[in-house]
Amino acid sequence: MKPEYSTNVEASYLFRKKYSISLGYTHISDVISQILLQNEEKKSIYQTYLNVASQDLISFTFSFPVKITSWWNTDNSIMSYYNQLSAPELQGADLNTKQISADFYSQNNFTLSKLFSADAAIIYNTPASTAAFMIKSRFRTDAGLRYNFPNKMGNLKLTITDVFHTQNNTLYSNSPANTYNLEQSTTSTSARITFTYRFGKATVKSERSRTTGLDTEQKRL
């Protein structure tokens, strides 16, 4: 395979110290991409990596926090992008895909009491394209519950990833030379307990001021 080369340009703007927008453009030549190809002899499909001709990506991102109540805050982002891929003579057929997609992310933080807090992340991806296949829309929710110790020295947190087990992939062929549909289901749902504790004093006293003969001499200079 050849190395791929990327050219990137991005402009960003922050206003009111919390809202941000950015516009970017990326051009990649000799793109290294995952490809699913047919083996005519074995009548099977295999996965490999190949160089495709080029990729152009135009993206727009808007990030914004929202305070819903005194105990509910959110950080959100919306990314919309136009993706174009071209690969002439891919298994005897030209590939030229154009797709407008978007990603939505919302991080929700809840203050339940002085000792308890919770959070939930919601992620949604609209249909997207790669050199080999189209990916249908995907949705995922992560959640967590935190207990902060009264002495403020540590916390105990329960985190659940992909709560509703929806992080599955539905793929279908992007190339005129191949026809296939795939369903991918992974063990994306998991639970984790994290214990954090800080030992020792939370603050350190500043060093006591001392005066030496050298300090006095330096002041004279």
List pLDDT tens digits, range 101-158.
Answer: 999 999 999 999 999 999 999 999 999 988 778 899 999 999 999 999 998 889 999 9
Say how far apart CA 132 and CA 113 lie, in whole Å. 49
Residue 217 lies in a domain: no
pLDDT score of 81 more than 70: yes
Domain count, the chain: 1
Mean model confidence pLDDT for the chain: 86
Instruction: Quickly state the pLDDT bin for 220 (edges 50, 70, 90).
Output: very low
Q: Return the pLDDT at 215.
A: 54
Q: Return the pLDDT at 64.
A: 96
Report whether 21 contacts 60 (CB < 8 A): yes
Residue 215 lies in a domain: no
Domain that holds residue 51: 5-201
Q: How many CB atoms lie within 10 A of CB 178?
A: 19
Residue whose structure tokens are 């994306």: 188
Residue 81 lies in a domain: yes
List pLDDT tens digits, range 1-40.
Answer: 889 999 999 999 999 989 999 999 999 999 888 877 777 7
Cα distances from 188 to residues 63, 68, 108, 142, 191, in angstroms, run: 26, 30, 21, 11, 10
Q: Return the pLDDT at 217.
A: 46
Residue 114 lies in a domain: yes
**Which tokens hold the place of 103?**
């990603």
Q: What is the DSSP letter of 174?
A: -
Partnered with residue 87 across adjacent β-strands are 95
Residue 32 lies in a domain: yes
Residue 59 lies in a domain: yes
Residue 211 lies in a domain: no
